């Protein structure tokens, strides 16, 4: 097995007011690289569609040394990095035009029956699943602590444009909601350097969500709930650094 590699050029509409890659764009690039790699290995979108299953991300850990700027060319490398009966791991590295590593990530995924909405065994659908035992970040996805106090609250509605091929809100939107819960003065001063997210429940079109945020210096904790509090959708821990 070889690692999958692809060069992406950062486009203007993927960048924020500072000319740096948006967090939602970064999450989309990670998903794009994962999808292309899985397709090359024979268990991508077409495989899932034909077998009635879907890959669903459950956890991400992302470390950001620097974010690429508009028109930069970056090289993403990704590979399956481990698996057990129900969980598959995938790691990522991103390099700038000088070959310097600027982003690394590890993630955890499950195969879900799209009708029953339940995880299925990898061995049943992918008995020959292979991986490379190499991790850029330790794949220990510990339970994330919820905010202990609420410093900020913000509300969002799941738009039609937020819905992906799995018919629920795309993974990239949750970090966007968490970051958007912080005010503009915070974003003027600080940029994301570390993201850890645990996805709990799917969010559907039209649902109203509330982001509850705790701020401790350059570390923020976020819980995303449906507005009525019936579902906890995701927990996120973010770390920031000065621009």
| 236 found inside a domain | yes
Tens digit of each residue's pLDDT (9 = 90 or more) over 2-39 = 999 999 999 999 999 999 999 999 999 999 999 999 99
Q: Which residues contact 17 (CB under 8 A, 6 or more apart)?
A: none
For residue 188, the enclosing domain spans: 152-242
| 131 found inside a domain | no
Give me the CATH number covering residue 196.
3.10.129.10
| 147 found inside a domain | no
Are residues 120 and 8 located together in one domain of the fold? yes
Q: How many H-runs (helices) and E-runs (strands) does the chain carry?
A: 5, 11
Contact 215, 189 (CB under 8 A): no
- The domain tally of the chain equals 2
47 pLDDT band, cuts 50/70/90, is very high
Are residues 51 and 97 located together in one domain of the fold? yes
> How many whole angstroms from its chain centre is CA 76?
15
Are residues 108 and 192 located together in one domain of the fold? no
| 85 found inside a domain | yes
Give the pLDDT confidence score for residue 139 in this predicted structure.
85
Are residues 10 and 117 located together in one domain of the fold? yes
Question: Can you tell me the mean pLDDT for 124-150?
Answer: 94
Are residues 93 and 168 located together in one domain of the fold? no
Give the pLDDT confidence score for residue 228 in this predicted structure.
84
Are residues 113 and 168 located together in one domain of the fold? no
| 229, pLDDT greater than 90 | no
Are residues 74 and 9 located together in one domain of the fold? yes
Closest by CA position to 144, among listed 111, 180, 108 = 108
Are residues 121 and 157 located together in one domain of the fold? no
1 pLDDT band, cuts 50/70/90, is confident
Tens digit of each residue's pLDDT (9 = 90 or more) over 51-110 = 999 999 999 999 999 999 999 999 999 999 999 999 999 999 999 999 999 999 999 999
Give the pLDDT confidence score for residue 217 in this predicted structure.
96
**Are β-strands 208-216 and 73-83 bridged in parallel, bridged antiparallel, or unpaired?**
unpaired
Domain end call among 125, 143, 169: 125
**Are β-strands 53-64 and 190-199 bridged in parallel, bridged antiparallel, or unpaired?**
antiparallel
- Backbone CA torsion sign across 163, 166, 169, 172: negative
Are residues 121 and 177 located together in one domain of the fold? no
| pTM reported for the whole predicted model | 0.95
> How many whole angstroms from its chain centre is CA 201?
14
Are residues 92 and 198 located together in one domain of the fold? no
Closest by CA position to 24, among listed 156, 124, 208 = 156
Are residues 36 and 86 located together in one domain of the fold? yes
Q: Which residues contact 149 (CB under 8 A, 6 or more apart)?
A: 214
Are residues 23 and 107 located together in one domain of the fold? yes
Give the pLDDT confidence score for residue 103 in this predicted structure.
98
Tens digit of each residue's pLDDT (9 = 90 or more) over 141-178 = 989 999 999 999 999 999 999 999 989 999 999 999 99
| 115 found inside a domain | yes
Give the pLDDT confidence score for residue 222 in this predicted structure.
98
């Amino acid at each position: 097995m070889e690692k999958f590699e692809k060069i992406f050029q950062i486009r203007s509409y993927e960048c924020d007011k500072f000319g740096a890659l948006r967090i939602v764009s970064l999450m989309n690039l990670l998903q794009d690289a994962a999808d292309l790699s899985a397709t090359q290995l024979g268990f991508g979108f077409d495989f899932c569609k034909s077998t009635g299953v879907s890959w669903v991300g459950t956890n991400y850990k992302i470390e950001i040394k620097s974010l690429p700027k508009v028109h930069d060319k970056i090289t993403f490398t990704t590979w399956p990095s481990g698996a057990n009966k129900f969980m598959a791991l995938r790691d990522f590295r991103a390099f700038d035009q000088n070959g310097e590593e600027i982003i690394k990530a590890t993630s955890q995924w499950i195969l879900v029956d799209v009708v029953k909405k339940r995880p299925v065994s990898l061995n049943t659908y992918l008995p020959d699943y292979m991986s490379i035992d190499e991790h850029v970040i330790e794949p220990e996805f510990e339970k994330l602590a919820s905010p202990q106090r609420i410093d900020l609250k913000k509300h969002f509605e799941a738009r039609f444009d937020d819905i992906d091929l799995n018919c629920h809100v795309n993974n990239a939107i949750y970090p966007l909601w968490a970051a958007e819960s912080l005010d503009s003065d915070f974003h003027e001063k600080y940029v994301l350097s570390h993201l850890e997210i645990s996805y709990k429940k799917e969010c559907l079109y039209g649902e109203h969500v509330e982001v509850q945020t705790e701020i401790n210096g350059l570390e923020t904790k976020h819980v995303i709930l449906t507005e009525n509090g019936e579902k906890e959708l995701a927990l996120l821990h973010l770390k920031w650094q000065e621009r």
